[in-house]
Amino acid sequence: MKATIEHESRGRIRLRLLQQYMSIQQADHLELWLQQQPFISRAVVHERTCCAIIYYTGPRAAVLDCICQFSWQKAEEAFPLPFHSSRALNRTFEEKLVQKVLAKAAAALFLPKPLRLARMMLHAVPFFCRGLRCILRRQMKIEVLDGCSIALSMYRRDFGTAGMVMFLLELGELLEEWTRRKSVEDLARCMSLQVDRVWVWTDQGEVLLPVSQVKCGDQVILRAGSVIPFDGRILEGELAVNQASFTGEALPVQKNAGKTVYAGTVVEEGEAKMEVMQLANESRYAKIVAMIEQSEQLKSATESKAARLADRLVPYTFGASLLCLAFTKNASRASSVLMVDFSCALKLAIPLAVLSAMRQAGKDHITVKGGKFLEAIAKADTIVFDKTGTLTHACPKVVQVIAFDGQDPEEMLRLAACLEEHFPHSMAKAVVEEAKRRGLEHEEFHTKVEYIVAHGIASTVEGKQVRIGSAHYLFEDCGCVVPEGEEERFASLPAQYSHLYLAIGQRLSAVLCIADPLRAEAKEVLAYLKRQGIRQTVMLTGDSYRTACAIAQEVGVDQFRAEVLPEDKAKEVAKRRAQGHIVVMVGDGINDSPALSEADVGIAIQDGAAIAQEIADVTLSAESLWELVLLRQIAMALMKRIQWNYRFVIGFNGSLIAAGLAGLLSPATSALLHNLSTLAISVHSMGPLKEPPLPLS
């Protein structure tokens, strides 16, 4: 690609592409390409002027070389665009806004008076219809106030005021819709499905492929704990699918051969082969937008309170206008009062503030699925943590493989990796990574893999039952035994490590010792949360008492429980809620899912199991636990902004009503100030929340 340098300063270059026209799709491709380069910190592309502004931290030559090597074909292949472009949305509403303003100006300048009156009457019909519809439904809403104000101005033959009022109302509706749509779509992009690789069935067996290489008609393998990446049809096998995010169904839905499954839902149990029917993530995106717009999850108690208050204040505004007309006989004053209401600002500004907070959290790699969860986080007094992958490091490592029953340690690690690679949990990843580090190829030589939640994995290899999991699962549930004469070795296993047990048949074959170091920031994060108002911090883990006690003392939690099952975690959360606490649960595994569902707010770690992320109300990127502190700060800043919005809307609009009653404002001026204030508070609500800086990044 060819371009010229328009302007340059330290760490910044403005380029003009040598082409006459740039489409919205091309601008999005170029911007995405530039943002993916490691030496470019920020890039902005303006399609109208064919310009690109690049902020870089690497060498200047690398930036120029990147531009020279860029091609539209390479960008399209490397970085597929999202299905909804913020740029396209902005262009659509910009054109609507310009068309509306130009149409108003052209009518005022070129149309004769009779045609202007006819145009105004035509524009008034929708306002009258909406107001009449509310009256027939016995509802006193803002539409009644708008219709009455326009009718009163036309009755007084003040057509100029009536026309200006309608123009301002239409302009306000357009701007309100623009801000709301942009907030919803920005949030939807944050929540869209992120799946990098999938298991695809080929002539050579199962192959792990990038999502971008999957085509319609390909056969994808689905297993427990994984997100379904595409819309498709089950060819063979049977699944229990969690569809709660789309349908609200509390129980998993059984899917067998011939049934359709949808992208973004999660496999709870079973295994199946699926034929890909739709590659595009369009259906997933549309459903997320629908969820945001319709789901009661989005509405916090504060939002619902604002909507109810706004509706209750409409009759009082209407009554004040009637009293003004009765006592002053001045229709202009009454119309000025009608032009002001509390409904628009309260119903728009509060949800926009919530959407803005959710979008801001998304930019910090924190996905929040609803406004009520932010409100609960701001009010929470108890946080319950899982240990593995949450308080401890997200990447545990296998440090030793102790073989039993005459087995070879390398072969046992190979077998363990073969089973564990199908299940995205931190312990499973540690096993797979260690096998990879040692150069051990683990081909698919087992039969169907069965995941037993919170216990382990079972399969069959060369006709023998193979199990890997916790001591409780192998020795108590399955009745496995330690080989004769090796009891002493088993009793002297290193206590400082977590243990993963592997059995072939009914005999212990190996123990994998896994180092699970504490996150460096964990202790300070918990202390900071205490300063933010959290009264109790609790750790729940299925690990041994000795390991849990050591971690609890090191990290500084108030209480801990060890050797707990998933249902025990959920019961502990439920007990604390019954005591009146607002509880946040933080976890990353399939075994944390019941507790995540039971808590007021369930927070999942992104590197953990897919089903935990689906069930959770909030997802953290897992880069640092400081994200938890940041989330609390955003939630508390949101509640402060909502309270400020309340005070401003009531105070400013109350002042406008008083000025209208006193005859200080004309109807057009009253409408202008009201719409400007609504727009101003909406823009303020969409702005970034100011939270105090974190002590450590």
pLDDT digits (tens, 9 = 90+) for 28-64: 888 878 887 888 888 888 888 889 999 988 788 888 8
- How would you classify residue 397: left for phi > 0, otherwise alpha for psi between -120 and 50, otherwise beta? beta
Range name among 27-31, 211-215, 464-468, 497-501 with the lowest pLDDT average: 211-215
Does the pLDDT value for residue 384 go beyond 90?
Answer: yes
pTM greater than the 0.75 cutoff: no
Q: Are 205 and 109 in contact (CB under 8 A)?
A: no
Retrieve residue 215's tokens: 């085509």
Q: Are 91 and 178 in contact (CB under 8 A)?
A: no
Which among 298, 359, 354, 353 has a CA at the least distance from the CA of 684? 353
Q: Residue 296 has what pLDDT?
A: 41
The H-assigned helical ranges of 609-696 are: 610-615, 626-661, 667-686
Q: Residue 535 has what pLDDT?
A: 93
Q: Which residues contact 101 (CB under 8 A, 6 or more apart)?
A: 171
d(CA 220, CA 426): 23
Neighbours of 443 (CB within 10 A): 9
d(CA 386, CA 376): 20
Range name among 184-193, 472-481, 548-557 with the lowest pLDDT average: 184-193
Band of residue 223 on the pLDDT scale cut at 50, 70, 90: confident
Does the pLDDT value for residue 508 go beyond 90?
Answer: yes
Q: Residue 428 has what pLDDT?
A: 81
Q: Residue 697 has what pLDDT?
A: 45
The β-bridge relationship of strands 507-515 and 536-540 is unpaired
Q: Residue 578 has what pLDDT?
A: 92
Q: Residue 247 has what pLDDT?
A: 53
Rounded to an integer, the average pLDDT of 87-96 is 80
Band of residue 179 on the pLDDT scale cut at 50, 70, 90: low
What is the separation of C-alpha 584 from the centre of its chain, rounded to a whole number of angstroms? 17
Does the pLDDT value for residue 91 go beyond 70?
Answer: yes
Range name among 209-218, 530-539, 550-559 with the lowest pLDDT average: 209-218
Does the pLDDT value for residue 207 go beyond 90?
Answer: no
Top-confidence residue, 152 or 540: 540
Q: Are 604 and 588 in contact (CB under 8 A)?
A: yes
Quick one: 105 exposed, middle or buried, by C-beta within 10 A (0-12, 13-18, 19+)? exposed
d(CA 367, CA 605): 10
Retrieve residue 443's tokens: 């081909």
d(CA 431, CA 413): 7
Q: Which residues contact 19 (CB under 8 A, 6 or more apart)?
A: 50
Q: Which residues contact 70 (CB under 8 A, 6 or more apart)?
A: 1, 30, 33
Q: Residue 297 has what pLDDT?
A: 45
Mean pLDDT highest for which of 367-371, 381-385, 657-661? 381-385
Mean pLDDT highest for which of 123-132, 360-369, 655-664? 123-132
Q: Which residues contact 612 (CB under 8 A, 6 or more apart)?
A: 587, 588, 589, 590, 592, 593, 596, 604, 605
Mean pLDDT highest for which of 262-266, 448-452, 629-633? 629-633
**Percentage with pLDDT > 70 across the chain:** 82
pLDDT digits (tens, 9 = 90+) for 95-116: 888 888 898 888 888 888 888 8
Q: Residue 173 has what pLDDT?
A: 73
Q: Residue 486 has what pLDDT?
A: 93
Per the prediction, the chain carries an average pLDDT of 80
Q: How far is CA 361 from CA 73, 182, 287, 690, in A?
A: 33, 16, 21, 12
Neighbours of 663 (CB within 10 A): 13
Band of residue 332 on the pLDDT scale cut at 50, 70, 90: confident
Q: Which residues contact 209 (CB under 8 A, 6 or more apart)?
A: 197, 198, 199, 200
Band of residue 583 on the pLDDT scale cut at 50, 70, 90: very high
d(CA 250, CA 615): 10
Q: How far is CA 14 from CA 1, 143, 563, in A?
A: 15, 48, 59
Partner residues linked to 221 by β-bridges: 273
Partner residues linked to 223 by β-bridges: 271
Residue 425 phi/psi, 5-degree rounding, is -130, 155
Band of residue 364 on the pLDDT scale cut at 50, 70, 90: confident
Neighbours of 301 (CB within 10 A): 12
Amino acid (1-letter code) at residue 289: V
Does the pLDDT value for residue 658 go beyond 60?
Answer: yes
